Amino acid sequence: MFQLENVVPWGRSFQDYLGMFNLTPEDLKLSILDCAGGPASFNAVMKKQGKTVISCDPIYQFTSEQIQQRINETYPIIIKGLYQNFDQFVWSPITTPEALGEYRLAAMQEFLADFPQGKKEGRYRNFSFPKFPFPDQSFDLAISSHLLFTYSEQFSFSFHLNSILELCRVAKEVRIFPLVENFTSAKSRHLDFILEALTSRNYQVDIQKTDYEFQRGGNELLKVK
Ligand SMILES: C[S@@+](CC[C@H](N)C(=O)[O-])C[C@H]1O[C@@H](n2cnc3c(N)ncnc32)[C@H](O)[C@@H]1O
């Protein structure tokens, strides 16, 4: 069973999403699915711009209050972790863990303010990898950050492959960021095998550079068509 106490909610901003996924103004006009969207503000900001994104994450089964409480509990632990692993991150333009914390908190507050209404509208759905109950090719673009490849130690190769094949089933194009494992600059142990498995199934795979880099070496995304 999915338990909130096992989650470290840490959501990125709309600007971060643009950078992580190389999203162009044209891309923002597409129908977009954000898998493992967590407490990121991308969906909320897109809504303010008149666009509808569907985000999936098991944390969406909880209330805003429960998610807020979990953010409060884990916040000091994350700041401590950033100090302990300081050299693994790029401290520009944000120069300290506290400043980064404030920036992330602002994004998460924007998510929390939008969450109750977004849940009613079906923009936040309690669905989890590796299976999503959407018809084939329902979306133009599926994006996913900081779960696949990031948690390569916790999730097996088959979980990764099944999850990515599922994203390819529900969307015409898939982008995943970053390709390095959590708290390291090392490429995911699954990456080469995933590229091979996708290529052998006739998917087109492309690794693209991103301007966004916070985790050192985390400046590439995987695009699959
Ligand atoms: C570090 S957050 C990333 C949030 C957001 N994508 C970002 O980059 O800011 C990882 C998210 O993955 C979610 N998660 C964990 N297991 C999942 C699964 N099986 N399917 C979908 N999401 C999952 C967690 O609940 C958490 O919100």
- Position 8 scores a pLDDT of 81
Report which protein residue has its CA nearest ligand 1's atom 13: 36
What average pLDDT does range 3-27 have in this prediction? 91
Domain containing residue 216: CATH number: 3.40.50.150
pLDDT of 111-160, one tens digit each?
999 999 999 999 999 999 999 999 999 999 999 999 999 999 999 999 99
Token pair for residue 127?
């669905």
Specify the residue for token string 């390819």: 168
Distance 36 CA to ligand 1 centre (A): 4
Token pair for residue 84?
């302990």
Which residues have C-beta atoms less than 6 Å from ligand 1?
7, 9-12, 35-38, 40, 57-59, 128-129, 145-147
What average pLDDT does range 53-60 have in this prediction? 97
Q: Can you name the residues that pair with 187 across neighbouring β-strands?
A: 180
Q: At 3, is the pLDDT very low, low, confident or very high (cuts 50, 70, 90)?
A: confident
Q: How many domains does the chain have?
A: 1
Ligand 1 pocket test target in 57, 132, 159 with most atoms within 8 Å of CB: 57
Distance 24 CA to ligand 1 centre (A): 23
Task: Report the candidate in 159, 157, 208, 153 with the shortest Cα–Cα distance to residue 183.
Answer: 153
Q: What angle do CA 137, 141, 143 make, to 5 degrees?
A: 120
> What single letter denotes the amino acid at residue 204?
Q
Sheet holding 220-224, edge to edge: 124-125, 53-56, 32-35, 139-145, 171-177, 220-224, 205-209
Mean pLDDT score across all residues of the chain: 96
Distance 167 CA to ligand 1 centre (A): 15
Give CA 207 to chain center in angstroms.
17
Q: Is the pLDDT of residue 207 over 80?
A: yes
pLDDT of 91-100, one tens digit each?
999 999 999 9
- Position 183 scores a pLDDT of 81
Report which protein residue has its CA nearest ligand 1's atom 1: 146
Q: Is the pLDDT of residue 31 over 80?
A: yes
C-alpha–C-alpha distance, residues 203 and 195, integer Å? 9
- Position 5 scores a pLDDT of 76
Structural domain boundaries enclosing 203: 4-224
Q: At 7, is the pLDDT very low, low, confident or very high (cuts 50, 70, 90)?
A: confident
Percent of the chain with pLDDT over 90: 94
Distance 135 CA to ligand 1 centre (A): 22
- Position 16 scores a pLDDT of 97
Specify the residue for token string 């094949």: 165
Report which protein residue has its CA nearest ligand 1's atom 22: 36
Distance 35 CA to ligand 1 centre (A): 7
Report which protein residue has its CA nearest ligand 1's atom 26: 38
